[in-house]
Structure 1
Amino acid sequence: MRSFTLFFIAAILCVGNLAKAQSKHQFTLGDKDFLLDGKPFQMISGELHYPRIPREAWRDRMKMAKAMGLNTIGTYVFWNLHEPQKGQFDFSGNNDIVEFIKIAREEGLWVILRPSPYVCAEWEFGGYPYWLENEDGLIVRSKNAQYLSEYESYIKELGKRLSPYQVNHGGNILMVQIENEYGSYGADKEYLAINQKMFKDAGFDGLLYTCDPATDLVKGHLPGLLPAVNGLDDPAKVKELINQNHNGKGPYYIAEWYPAWFDWWGTKHHTVPADQYTGKLDSVLAAGISINMYMFHGGTTRGFMNGANYNDQSPFEPQISSYDYDAPLDEAGNPTPKFVAFRNVIQKHLSAGTNLPPVPLAKPTISIPKIELENVAGLNDLKPEGKSSESPLTFEDMKLDYGFMLYRTKIEGGKSGVLKVKELRDFAVVMINGKTVGNLDRRTGLDSMSLRLPDGTVTLDILVENLGRINFGKYLLQNKKGIVGKVIFQNNEVKNWQNFPLPFNTWGHYTPKIDLLDLNAPVMKKGTFSLSVLGDAYLNMTDWGKGVVWINRHNLGRYWRTGPQQTLYVPREWLHTGKNEILIFELLKPGNKEISALSKPILDQLQ
């Protein structure tokens, strides 16, 4: 009996190992096509980012991807999420990239992984963790030894977790991208080769590739790897460019195909009709070219994770919290006319007899007519223990990653003059004796204001908001936040500051305060509301000023009266039947006492 039992166990193990071996695939480069187990395979992929979607909704978004005809999804991996402080890694909750990839496999989707330490992605600091700014002499995207050491530590941690899910190890990750549009930044092939070696040493031993815009592809491509192109969808030009840089061969991959664009504060909402893209998509698929739509579904850049653009020709442009992108799925994950149009094109290019899954219904929405709010904390209640300094300290000096910094000093009153904040990054509320007297804004170049000080010793407060570190271009290396220069009043430097960091990275517990009723300064407000039916909702911020909102401990993102975004998306997954709590940190209109929620977003209204 014992020998039979052992034989039975051995047989089971043998079958299990065989099944495991059979689950492995080969994904290779042919002369014209990608080859999956030796057969031509055309990737029809769409980008969606796990932190921009509630974890509870990952599967729903992937079902939508399948329903549109996608066989693959692409995602960046965000260093600043996974190593928020040096040596402290976080892959939990919405950061659980492993679970995201597993769900994709369960839903029948392959994955293109983009784990370069630099991602751009309209994301804070292009994905770099803020603490790199505190490493003396560190130069990102270079052969600098300090940078490479931090990079290597991070990529090895990723490799331990993600390399087992490559297709050649039995997983669903088809390809892994090294660096990201490097040709738009530099042209150092030795640096790219170091990237390649680091990825291989970390366990990414499958198919590697680079991606760059067409005009920069030559600079950003590492010979020997597949060069993918971004932003080009003329089949003849795609093939010609890749042939020129890949020994006269394919396969051909458009790593980022843009069906629309992102938004930033103070600029109109970007939309492009679907019919301007359906013909291009049709021609690309007909030519056998693989494609990754950026974005298939944008979602929301919650918390303080939006980036900003800045160059010598344009002002500082921080991006809004909505990453709707006018994509095939809207911010809430519902199909748009673009979804239907693209699905119809893709259907034409599927194998005969292949039927796409039915399109899931749009999710239910709710409106909330009124939520009453009370003032529960002023700046003196919110500020932690500060640090003294002669000149203002930056966020990085205080090891403050995101959020706000309150700068406080005493000056002699009874005089008038111009207050100037040199190198303000990025938005400031100026207060005299606890009352707001004006705002400063890096976007518009407004760094000065006239002040008339009352008699006696005056308390000067400057609350500075980090609106997002630059995520693209040469100014990646000039990304410190707060007051980076000096504060000048009447042409004299103002000294002797207290620096109070306000990261707002945890949910606070507050009770109403009577002494805040007539406050004329930034304030934290709290309200509760009860729901019997759940659905997606959109907080209407049209009559508010500027700030941040949390619901049930989830940071929903920023709002700003300037627009174009006037609502904040509230996922139904984060609402409860019964009691719900809302916190609002309002900078400009502390007198507001109520808020409502709509059943539709407002993303196109400038004020």
Structure 2
Amino acid sequence: MTRTILLPSALALASLLGAATSASSQPPKPTQTFTIQQDHFLLNGQPFKILSGELHYARIPREYWHARLKMAKAMGLNTIATYVFWNIHEPTPGHFDFTGNNDLAAFIKAAQQEGLYVILRSGPYSCAEWEFGGFPAWLLKDPAMEQTLRSNDPSFMVPTERWIHRLAQEVAPLQIGHGGPIIMTQVENEYGNFDHDHAYMEHLKTIFEQSGLTASLLYSADNWRNIPAGSIPGLYAATNFGIGNHQGGMDALAKVRPDAPLFVSEYWPGWFDHWGHPHETRPVAPQLEDLDYILHRGAGINIYMFHGGTSFGFMAGSSNISGQFLPDVTSYDYDAPLDEAGHPTPKLLAYRKILATFSPCGNESCLPPVPTAPPVITIPPITLTESTSLWQNLPTAIASETPQSMEHFDQSYGYILYRTQLPAATSGDLVLTDLHDYAQIYLDGKLTGTLDRRNKQSTLPIKTDGPARLDILVANDGRINSTKQMRIESKGITKSVTLSGTPLTGWQIYPLPMTTLPTHFNPAAKQSQAPTLRRGSFTLASTGDTFLDIRTLGKGALWINGHPIGRFWNVGPQQTLFVPGPWLRKGRNEVVVFDLLPSTTPPHLAGLAQPILDGPATDQTKSKQE
């Protein structure tokens, strides 16, 4: 039996809505369809095997979208998949942004121009090692989210429905039934890993349908161990797994959906990195065995990731594994076939050989040649010769009797400073409950100690000889992007501060989202205990991609020509930051660094020809989730 999913093309719909001549007197309008027939897909009535690879428009500069898509085509892919990250499109409630690098419709059209179909992973939840799994942080301002995030409760479903309806305005016309390239649209993501509320999934499916997202195949995707919990009747189901799980993963899907095509919606050829942990890579040989098995048994595959890219700015998320908080690095290279900077790897060439066997002629001669990667340049050492103390660049304080989270002040990312006066000499334990995520504690401007959530630190002994100013500077290192721990991922000091068992009150609070940088800098001091913003400049005769050497920096964030490049941290393993060539310019370029850690001399940077993603790491414990 063939089940048709799609609607007539946009041209046919237009004729129904207002053509001068009646539809009955016109020749039949062409339609495009993506359907299911028994154990395979049909595209416009012909058998179609999905050969897809994932890449995320938000992790790629817009200027490189076409280049990355051409690489996908050259590897032998006929489809690409992308998550939609809600947080970048609705940064504040009811205010939407689909411009510039957030122009999702333009990305989808670019894929179509390159001859690729699209799988739209529309959420509302993504995961993806992205900040808060793609959810906007402002959701957490509502205390109800501690119980209702990713549930059928109106506190979550009302903003979710508003978002899906707005998203549909951008993407519904681009579904294949309307002549666009979107063949599949995902509802939620790996919900079976989180819960098993089928009423929630049914409600989401209804919202998608009411939004007009029915001209492509709606589907759910779950880790192979959790398919029954996350899937619902009437919604096509796919599965996700990593290396070596090809038979078990596909068997699990076949057991739940014996009469449907077997589609591997995520196959993991690599993995992601955490600060302080060794760089993750995966061997190629077993992947080729998996790929061969999956494609000969199933209806298709989506390689997660084909190209990882970069979690620019503050968009890298965090994990919670066995109760340990593990923030992710800025690079999302993922050991993918196409590396972070868009360069083909040996893995890409090996994948290409297998994927080519499913091309029209059965070999690589049908595929476009692998394009030349963008140029790479080196930059001589850049000394950050100017600086300004954070203390000299604080915003207006907000008075609060008790500490409050970032979200309480409508802040999503960056840092937050808590300041109070200790009225007399004191000695005892300073306890921060609950600290999210990393704090530096100062007494009268002098750094006294640090507390790190990764190490479950919350207590610091302090001593003063008299009255003192207490400053607690807290860094948001990325909200957890999976598990029910997400529900309590407010940032900053989320509960209380006590000293010798007594709550501290009377705070001045300074939100520091770092959306505006200082313009006035002084010659850099030789040594400073204060958290410092530093500035330097460099001149280029020509532009190109580069890898910024950050080994002289401590912990913080970096901007070039106003573009937020990402976080750095000297715990490793990442020791360079990818800087896209389109964000550089001929002539003078400016770099600004915010560094929490003291430096005895002005630090320096340099642009390298190769990345360093596998530098020394302080914590040698690997995390295994596959």
Q: What is the TM-score normalised by the length of structure 1?
A: 0.93
Counterpart of 2:47, as a letter, is: P
Counterpart of 1:71, as a letter, is: N
- Once the two structures are TM-superposed, the CA of residue 599 in structure 1 deviates from its matched residue by 1.2
Higher alpha-carbon deviation: 368-377 or 314-323: 368-377
Q: Please tell me whether the aligned partners of residues 318 and 467 of structure 1 are also in contact (alpha carbons under 8 angstroms).
A: yes
**Aligned pair partner of 1:598 in 605, 608, 620:** 608
Q: Please tell me whether the aligned partners of residues 239 and 250 of structure 1 are also in contact (alpha carbons under 8 angstroms).
A: no
Question: Which residue matches 2:375?
Answer: 364
**Aligned pair partner of 1:38 in 38, 41, 45:** 45
Aligned equivalents of 1:92, 1:20: Cα separation in 2:
37
Over 3 Å counting, the alpha-carbon distance change for 1:390 and 1:143 in structure 2 is same
Aligned equivalents of 1:515, 1:68: Cα separation in 2:
49
Aligned equivalents of 1:541, 1:416: Cα separation in 2:
38
Question: Which residue matches 1:345?
Answer: 354
- The residue matched to 2:480 in structure 1 has which SS? coil
Counterpart of 1:121, as a letter, is: A
Aligned equivalents of 1:471, 1:235: Cα separation in 2:
25
Aligned equivalents of 1:303, 1:394: Cα separation in 2:
21
Work out whether 1:200 is the aligned partner of 2:209. yes
Work out whether 1:553 is the aligned partner of 2:562. yes
- The residue matched to 1:203 in structure 2 has which SS? coil
Q: Please tell me whether the aligned partners of residues 544 and 592 of structure 1 are also in contact (alpha carbons under 8 angstroms).
A: no
- Once the two structures are TM-superposed, the CA of residue 193 in structure 1 deviates from its matched residue by 0.9
- Once the two structures are TM-superposed, the CA of residue 509 in structure 1 deviates from its matched residue by 4.3
**Aligned pair partner of 1:503 in 484, 505, 513:** 513
Question: Which residue matches 2:13?
Answer: none
Question: Which residue matches 1:249?
Answer: 259
Aligned equivalents of 1:300, 1:263: Cα separation in 2:
12
Aligned pairs (5 A) from 1:205-244: 205=214, 206-231=216-241, 237=248, 240-244=251-255
Aligned equivalents of 2:282, 2:524: Cα separation in 1:
50
Question: Which residue matches 1:461?
Answer: 471
- The residue matched to 2:409 in structure 1 has which SS? coil
Aligned residues: 590
**Aligned pair partner of 1:68 in 75, 82, 96:** 75
Over 3 Å counting, the alpha-carbon distance change for 1:236 and 1:525 in structure 2 is closer
- The residue matched to 1:421 in structure 2 has which SS? strand
- Once the two structures are TM-superposed, the CA of residue 21 in structure 1 deviates from its matched residue by 4.3
Over 3 Å counting, the alpha-carbon distance change for 1:236 and 1:443 in structure 2 is closer
Q: Please tell me whether the aligned partners of residues 526 and 601 of structure 2 are also in contact (alpha carbons under 8 angstroms).
A: no
Aligned equivalents of 1:329, 1:267: Cα separation in 2:
23
Over 3 Å counting, the alpha-carbon distance change for 1:33 and 1:526 in structure 2 is same
- Give structure 2 stretches of 5+ with no counterpart: 1-18, 619-626
Aligned pairs (5 A) from 1:406-485: 406-412=417-423, 414-453=425-464, 455-485=465-495
Question: Which residue matches 1:318?
Answer: 327
Q: Please tell me whether the aligned partners of residues 50 and 58 of structure 1 are also in contact (alpha carbons under 8 angstroms).
A: yes
Question: Which residue matches 1:568?
Answer: 577
Aligned equivalents of 1:445, 1:510: Cα separation in 2:
37
- Once the two structures are TM-superposed, the CA of residue 219 in structure 1 deviates from its matched residue by 1.0
- Once the two structures are TM-superposed, the CA of residue 252 in structure 1 deviates from its matched residue by 1.4
Aligned equivalents of 1:477, 1:446: Cα separation in 2:
21
Counterpart of 1:151, as a letter, is: T
Aligned equivalents of 1:395, 1:319: Cα separation in 2:
20
Counterpart of 2:132, as a letter, is: F
Aligned equivalents of 1:345, 1:145: Cα separation in 2:
47
Counterpart of 2:529, as a letter, is: N
Q: What's the CA shift string for 1:362-420, capped at 9, x where partnerless? A: 33222222112134321223221111112112101111111000111111354433222
Question: Which residue matches 1:119?
Answer: 126
Work out whether 1:281 is the aligned partner of 2:291. yes
Root-mean-square deviation (CA), in Å?
2.2
Work out whether 1:105 is the aligned partner of 2:115. no
- The residue matched to 1:484 in structure 2 has which SS? strand
- Once the two structures are TM-superposed, the CA of residue 114 in structure 1 deviates from its matched residue by 0.7
Q: Please tell me whether the aligned partners of residues 235 and 289 of structure 1 are also in contact (alpha carbons under 8 angstroms).
A: no
Q: Please tell me whether the aligned partners of residues 385 and 523 of structure 2 are also in contact (alpha carbons under 8 angstroms).
A: no
Over 3 Å counting, the alpha-carbon distance change for 1:125 and 1:234 in structure 2 is closer
- The residue matched to 2:336 in structure 1 has which SS? coil
Over 3 Å counting, the alpha-carbon distance change for 1:238 and 1:588 in structure 2 is closer
**Aligned pair partner of 1:89 in 96, 104, 112:** 96
Question: Which residue matches 1:158?
Answer: 167
- The residue matched to 2:474 in structure 1 has which SS? strand
Q: Please tell me whether the aligned partners of residues 222 and 230 of structure 2 are also in contact (alpha carbons under 8 angstroms).
A: yes
- The residue matched to 1:420 in structure 2 has which SS? strand
Q: Please tell me whether the aligned partners of residues 388 and 524 of structure 2 are also in contact (alpha carbons under 8 angstroms).
A: no
- Once the two structures are TM-superposed, the CA of residue 241 in structure 1 deviates from its matched residue by 3.3
- Once the two structures are TM-superposed, the CA of residue 227 in structure 1 deviates from its matched residue by 1.0
**Aligned pair partner of 2:54 in 11, 22, 47:** 47
Q: Please tell me whether the aligned partners of residues 552 and 580 of structure 1 are also in contact (alpha carbons under 8 angstroms).
A: yes
Q: What's the CA shift string for 1:135-162, capped at 9, x where partnerless? A: 2424111110121111110000011110
**Aligned pair partner of 1:395 in 366, 388, 406:** 406
Q: Please tell me whether the aligned partners of residues 544 and 589 of structure 1 are also in contact (alpha carbons under 8 angstroms).
A: no
Aligned equivalents of 1:182, 1:458: Cα separation in 2:
49
Counterpart of 2:283, as a letter, is: P
- Once the two structures are TM-superposed, the CA of residue 31 in structure 1 deviates from its matched residue by 0.3
Question: Which residue matches 1:181?
Answer: 190
Work out whether 1:492 is the aligned partner of 2:499. no
Q: Please tell me whether the aligned partners of residues 21 and 170 of structure 1 are also in contact (alpha carbons under 8 angstroms).
A: no
Higher alpha-carbon deviation: 133-142 or 177-186: 133-142
Over 3 Å counting, the alpha-carbon distance change for 1:236 and 1:408 in structure 2 is closer
Over 3 Å counting, the alpha-carbon distance change for 1:18 and 1:543 in structure 2 is farther
Aligned equivalents of 2:110, 2:402: Cα separation in 1:
50
- The residue matched to 2:203 in structure 1 has which SS? helix
Question: Which residue matches 2:622?
Answer: none
Counterpart of 1:72, as a letter, is: T
Counterpart of 2:561, as a letter, is: N
Counterpart of 1:409, as a letter, is: T
Q: What's the CA shift string for 1:154-202, capped at 9, x where partnerless? A: 0000111100000001100001010111111111221111111100111
**Aligned pair partner of 1:169 in 178, 187, 196:** 178
- The residue matched to 1:511 in structure 2 has which SS? coil
Higher alpha-carbon deviation: 592-601 or 388-397: 592-601
- Once the two structures are TM-superposed, the CA of residue 125 in structure 1 deviates from its matched residue by 1.1
Aligned equivalents of 1:187, 1:458: Cα separation in 2:
52
Aligned equivalents of 2:407, 2:130: Cα separation in 1:
18
- The residue matched to 1:67 in structure 2 has which SS? helix
Counterpart of 2:548, as a letter, is: L
Q: What's the CA shift string for 1:526-561, capped at 9, x where partnerless? A: 111001122211111112211100001111110000
Aligned equivalents of 1:517, 1:150: Cα separation in 2:
50
Question: Which residue matches 1:259?
Answer: 269
- The residue matched to 2:440 in structure 1 has which SS? strand
**Aligned pair partner of 2:594 in 585, 595, 605:** 585
- Give structure 1 stretches of 5+ with no counterpart: 1-10
**Aligned pair partner of 2:279 in 263, 269, 280:** 269
Counterpart of 2:185, as a letter, is: V
Aligned equivalents of 2:382, 2:490: Cα separation in 1:
37
- Once the two structures are TM-superposed, the CA of residue 236 in structure 1 deviates from its matched residue by 5.3
- The residue matched to 1:321 in structure 2 has which SS? coil
Aligned equivalents of 1:125, 1:48: Cα separation in 2:
18
Over 3 Å counting, the alpha-carbon distance change for 1:343 and 1:144 in structure 2 is same
Over 3 Å counting, the alpha-carbon distance change for 1:565 and 1:435 in structure 2 is same
Over 3 Å counting, the alpha-carbon distance change for 1:226 and 1:317 in structure 2 is same
Question: Which residue matches 1:3?
Answer: none
- Once the two structures are TM-superposed, the CA of residue 449 in structure 1 deviates from its matched residue by 2.0
Aligned equivalents of 1:107, 1:19: Cα separation in 2:
30
**Aligned pair partner of 1:190 in 199, 221, 229:** 199
- Once the two structures are TM-superposed, the CA of residue 517 in structure 1 deviates from its matched residue by 5.3
Higher alpha-carbon deviation: 349-358 or 473-482: 349-358
Aligned equivalents of 1:266, 1:220: Cα separation in 2:
33
